[in-house]
C-alpha cells in the first residue's frame, strides 16, 4: 500500500471512529450528573473527542505535503522538502 493510501485509510478510520464516538450509545454513557472541573461530563466528553479528532487529522495531514506525497526523513532527522526540477541541494 502506498504511503498516501495509508494516510487516506487513516482518515477514513478516524472519521468512522469520530462518528461512533459522537453517536447516541456512547454519548448516553456520559449523560450523568457529574462534572469535571465544574464542566458537565457530556460537554467535557464532547470537547475531548473533538480535540482528539482534530489532533489526529493534524498528525495525518502533517505526514503529507500539498501534493499528497508523504514526506521522507533525511539522515539528520529533518524532513526533505521537494526541490524544483533542475535544482540541486547545497550540501551535495
Convert the pLDDT of each residue in 51-85 to its tens digit.
Answer: 999 999 999 888 876 666 666 655 566 566 666 66
Select from 45, 21, 23, 48 the least CA-distant residue to 34.
45
Q: Measured between alpha carbons, how far is 23 from 19 in angstroms, rounded to an integer?
A: 6
Please state whether the predicted TM-score (pTM) of the whole model is above 0.75. Answer: no
Name the DSSP letter for residue 23. S
Q: What is the pLDDT of residue 6?
A: 76
Amino acid at each position: 500500500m502506498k504511503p498516501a493510501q495509508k494516510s487516506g485509510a487513516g482518515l477514513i478510520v478516524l472519521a468512522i471512529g469520530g462518528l461512533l464516538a459522537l453517536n447516541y450509545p456512547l454519548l448516553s454513557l456520559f449523560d450523568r450528573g457529574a462534572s469535571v472541573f465544574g464542566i458537565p461530563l457530556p460537554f467535557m466528553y464532547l470537547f475531548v473527542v473533538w480535540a482528539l479528532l482534530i489532533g489526529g487529522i493534524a498528525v495525518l495531514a502533517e505526514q503529507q505535503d500539498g501534493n499528497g506525497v508523504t514526506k521522507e526523513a533525511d539522515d539528520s532527522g529533518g524532513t526533505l522538502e521537494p526541490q524544483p526540477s533542475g535544482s540541486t541541494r547545497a550540501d551535495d
